[in-house]
Amino acid sequence: MPLISSAYRPPFHFRSGHLSTIYSGLFRKVNGITQERERLELPDGDFIDLDWSYSKTPTRKMAILLHGLEGHAQRPYITGSAKAFNQTGIDACAVNFRGCSGETNRLFRSYHSGATEDLDAVVNHILEKNKYQEIFIKGISLGGNLAMKYVGERRQVPKEVRAVVGISVPCDLYSSLKELLKLKNLPYAQRFRKHLVAKLELKLPLFPKRISRNDIIDIKNLKDFDDIYTSKAHGFADALDYYEKCSCLQFLPHVQVPSLVINALNDSFLGPECYPFKEAHSNKNLYLATPKFGGHVGFIDNKNSYYSEKRAIKFVQDVV
């Protein structure tokens, strides 16, 4: 599918990738949205919390929203997306991954970039309600990788899933990791590590035979975290095995649902392998937009609106 051209031009002072990333992550406020929480019990005894918001008019359309690394359903990039969908007559279900809703999950495992079994559980739960005829999935960053992997795994995707959108997607996880470990991204990497280790600390007294204080001390960077915890907790040999098996890039040729990836060219989190030009050219169901600006999830437009939110809605409206 030919690449989608983008005329996106943010206000001048937000043409810096770092400034747009930092402002959007730390300072953006989204008002006027009410969320209702539902707990979904999972087959393995764990749980996921879902935060619903609704269109003002009855609808048979809904969007599943997936957050990024150490995010949750109250982050402005999620509430902004939910509000935009609601205003367009689409209900929204914002997923909090395991351990991300303000309460430690029950199992030693948690969430990761390739845990499509949890997304599948959410989709099936929604279909059991027998209320929605059209389902859209929008994933941001880690959630975007998860969404694209889900529709590219050669699984039987329910017919109700009509479109998928991924924003700032680390299509090649190892390529993204290498960028995050560079000096330019040190403040982001340190912040991610701090939050990940804090959650792992909570598991220490619950699972003393699986994680030790020395293990936690040994976590100096994000790759260490994936070597010591993510890979071991989720059945991978090591961090590199996890990155290889869970990167959505290898699944993009098999995507059968209309899917859009929006990755800014000035996104400091994404390496060259995270821009799937070849895959988009060869798969009629895969669309790729690479705006010059936007940073990482920082597609700021005018009056607190975001290009990525408006473009996602246009895409799902066009393909249905």
Q: What is the pLDDT of residue 2?
A: 62
Ordered by where they begin, the domains of the chain are 12-170+251-319 (3.40.50.1820), 173-246 (no CATH)
Q: Does the structure show a pLDDT above 80 at 34?
A: yes
Confidence of residue 303 (pLDDT cuts 50, 70, 90): confident
Average pLDDT of span 267-275: 98
Catalytic residue among 67, 112, 296, 308: 296
Catalytic residue among 20, 141, 175, 308: 141
Alpha carbon separation from 224 to 219, 227, 229, 232 (Å, rounded):
5, 5, 8, 12
Q: Does the structure show a pLDDT above 60 at 250?
A: yes
Confidence of residue 320 (pLDDT cuts 50, 70, 90): confident
Average pLDDT of span 172-200: 98
Average pLDDT, the chain: 96
Confidence of residue 186 (pLDDT cuts 50, 70, 90): very high
Give the span between the Cα atoms of 269 and 218, in whole angstroms.
24
296 as an active site residue: the answer is yes
How would you write the chain as a 3-class SS string? CCCECCCCCCCHHHCCHHHHHHHHHHCCCCCCCCCEEEEEECCCCCEEEEEEECCCCCCCEEEEEECCCCCCCCCHHHHHHHHHHHHCCCEEEEEECCCCCCCCCCCCCCCCCCCHHHHHHHHHHHHHCCCCCEEEEEEECHHHHHHHHHHHCCCCCCCCEEEEEEECCCCCHHHHHHHHCCHHHHHHHHHHHHHHHHHHHHHCCCCCCCCCHHHHHCCCCHHHHHHHHHHHHCCCCCHHHHHHHHCHHHHHHHCCCCEEEECCCCCCCCCHHHCCHHHHHHCCCEEEECCCCCCCCCCECCCCCEHHHHHHHHHHHHHC
Catalytic residue among 91, 110, 267, 308: 267
125 as an active site residue: the answer is no
User: Token pair 């599918």 is at which residue?
Assistant: 1
Confidence of residue 50 (pLDDT cuts 50, 70, 90): very high
pLDDT tens digits, one per residue of 104-137: 999 999 999 999 999 999 999 999 988 899 999 9
Q: Say which amino acid occupies 275.
A: Y
The maximal CA–CA distance of the chain, rounded, in angstroms, is 54
53 as an active site residue: the answer is no
Give the span between the Cα atoms of 116 and 121, in whole angstroms.
9
